[in-house]
């Protein structure tokens, strides 16, 4: 199994602080190494031919390292907080094999307007001239001028205007992805085109994640067949929804669909995908709320109406917010027949899932109907959990 990873965020560090990965390919004389940190350290390891990476990522890394050295671009020095390039983030558009390249630049947007501007402009123009060899889809810059002890790859808002932190330099703004749902569970006469700029979450292994979406479609088809409401489809609410990767691929199985997420860049991606749906009926079903899950439940009162028979959640590794879990329990304690009846839980953090699952089951208001594991990261012990809970 190789080439499955189509998303990668890689540090750029100096070769004099690097280590070999155990073979000749890991050794380099390059001043700039774009690679991976050795586990438990910040010693960088060159990975020019990583078998997990899509070949386009390996190609882009090799070229970018050489061009950094050629153009005098200094890799980031964590000790001094100096240097130009902190990280390189690469997304691959699967249908073309082209890369959406983001340079994480060690500067604030304000600083870039002065001294470092000429260097960055010169470098980006040079990379654009190499776009064919890089297989470039597009080029972005993200400004991260945070102090040296900040560990996050992206700056999520230290600038007075967070929008200035991202700069689209060249090429299409979005990578476009459509999922192959197979013949059995595919939508009829409809296609979802997902939109991914670099500042939204995208699964690193979309091929494997598609299997989870197919499993959810299969379950919802059977769930709909078991309902006693004739041709009336259930309503659906999605929390932690990102750009709508899961929920939009259920659009033909629900009567209304509301997605939500706190990342402010998601809403436009979602709306662009909706606008490309061929069915006007499906387009009219869709709504997006740009809030975190707690805010959606608390402020919009979404669990107390009839627009959430099915709730889909795909939280980060830390799992569901405490308020969200308790709201599911409380809403299931009413006798009105409204509120969630089916909870679809996609989890990337098993310990957090076990915690949330225990709370739901101990309430005696939810039962676990089905659970399964999916391998999204071949060669690792990380398992994505898919579970279906029914209201008691």
- pLDDT class for 151, splitting at 50, 70, 90? confident
Cβ atoms within 10 A of the Cβ of 180, count?
A: 11
**pLDDT tens digit string along 88-117?**
999 999 999 999 999 999 998 877 666 566
Confirm if 106 and 86 have CB atoms less than 8 A apart.
Answer: yes
**pLDDT tens digit string along 333-371?**
877 778 999 999 999 999 999 999 999 999 999 999 999
Buried b (16+ CB within 10 A) or exposed e, 326-337: ebbbebbeeeee
Model pLDDT, residue 147? 84
Model pLDDT, residue 253? 97
Model pLDDT, residue 184? 94
364: region left, alpha or beta (phi > 0 left; psi from -120 to 50 alpha)? left
Beta strands 85-93 and 98-105 are antiparallel
Query: What is the value of pTM for the model shown?
Result: 0.93
Largest pairwise CA distance in the chain? 70
Model pLDDT, residue 270? 98
Task: Give the C-alpha separation, 104 to 142, whole Å.
Answer: 5
pLDDT of 165 higher than 60: yes
Task: Give the C-alpha separation, 305 to 291, whole Å.
Answer: 18
Ranges 23-37, 144-158, 298-312, 339-353: which has the least confidence: 23-37
Between the two ends of the chain, the Cα-to-Cα distance in Å is 42
pLDDT of 162 higher than 70: no
Confirm if 175 and 93 have CB atoms less than 8 A apart.
Answer: yes
Q: What is the mean pLDDT of residues 168-182?
A: 97
Model pLDDT, residue 305? 82
Cβ atoms within 10 A of the Cβ of 156, count?
A: 13
- pLDDT class for 174, splitting at 50, 70, 90? very high
Cβ atoms within 10 A of the Cβ of 62, count?
A: 17
Beta strands 342-347 and 310-313 are parallel
As beta bridge partners, residue 347 has 385
Helix H segments across 115-205? Answer: 117-129, 131-134
Give the up-direction half-sphere exposure of residue 22: CA atoms within 13 A in the CB hemisphere: 2
As beta bridge partners, residue 345 has 313, 387
What's the sign of the alpha-carbon dihedral 1, 134, 46, 177? negative
| Burial degree of 352 (CB within 10 A; 0-12, 13-18, 19+) | middle
Q: 222 phi and psi, to 5 degrees?
A: -70, -35
Model pLDDT, residue 22? 45
Confirm if 46 and 18 have CB atoms less than 8 A apart.
Answer: yes
- pLDDT class for 26, splitting at 50, 70, 90? very low
Task: Give the C-alpha separation, 185 to 189, whole Å.
Answer: 12
Confirm if 177 and 204 have CB atoms less than 8 A apart.
Answer: no
């Amino acid at each position: 199994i190789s080439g499955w990873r189509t998303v990668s965020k890689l540090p750029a560090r100096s070769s004099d602080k690097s280590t070999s990965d155990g073979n000749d390919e890991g050794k380099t004389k390059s001043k700039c190494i774009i690679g991976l940190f050795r586990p438990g350290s910040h010693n960088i390891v060159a990975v020019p031919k990583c078998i997990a990476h899509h070949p386009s990522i390996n190609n882009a890394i090799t070229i970018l390292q050489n061009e950094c050295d050629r153009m005098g671009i200094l890799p980031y020095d964590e000790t001094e907080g100096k240097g130009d390039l902190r990280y390189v983030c690469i997304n691959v558009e699967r249908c073309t094999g082209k890369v959406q390249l983001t340079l994480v630049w060690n500067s604030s947007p304000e600083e870039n307007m002065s001294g470092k501007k000429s260097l960055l402009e010169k470098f980006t123009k040079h990379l654009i001239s190499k776009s064919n060899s890089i297989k470039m889809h597009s080029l972005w810059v993200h400004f991260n001028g945070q102090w040296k002890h900040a560990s996050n790859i992206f700056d999520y808002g230290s600038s007075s205007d967070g929008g200035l932190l991202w700069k689209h330099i060249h090429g299409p703004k979005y990578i476009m992805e459509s999922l192959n749902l197979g013949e059995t569970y595919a939508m009829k006469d409809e296609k979802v085109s997902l939109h991914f700029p670099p500042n939204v979450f995208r699964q690193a292994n979309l091929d494997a994640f598609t299997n989870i979406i197919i499993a959810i479609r299969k379950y919802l088809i059977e769930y709909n067949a078991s309902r006693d409401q004739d041709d009336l489809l259930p309503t659906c609410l999605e929390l932690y929804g990102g750009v709508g990767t899961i929920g939009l691929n259920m659009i033909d199985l629900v009567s209304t669909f509301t997605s939500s997420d706190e990342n402010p860049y998601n809403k436009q991606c979602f709306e662009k995908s909706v606008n490309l749906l061929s069915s006007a009926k499906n387009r009219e079903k869709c709504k997006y709320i740009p809030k975190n899950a707690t805010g959606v439940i608390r402020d919009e009162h979404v669990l107390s109406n009839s627009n959430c028979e099915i709730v889909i959640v795909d939280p980060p590794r830390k799992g569901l917010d405490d308020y969200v879990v308790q709201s599911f329990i409380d809403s299931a304690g009413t006798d009105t027949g409204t509120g969630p009846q089916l909870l679809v839980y996609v989890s990337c953090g098993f310990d957090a899932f076990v915690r949330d699952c225990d709370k739901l089951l101990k309430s005696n208001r939810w039962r676990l109907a089905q659970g399964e594991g999916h391998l999204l990261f071949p060669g690792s012990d990380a398992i994505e959990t898919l579970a279906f809970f029914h209201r008691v």
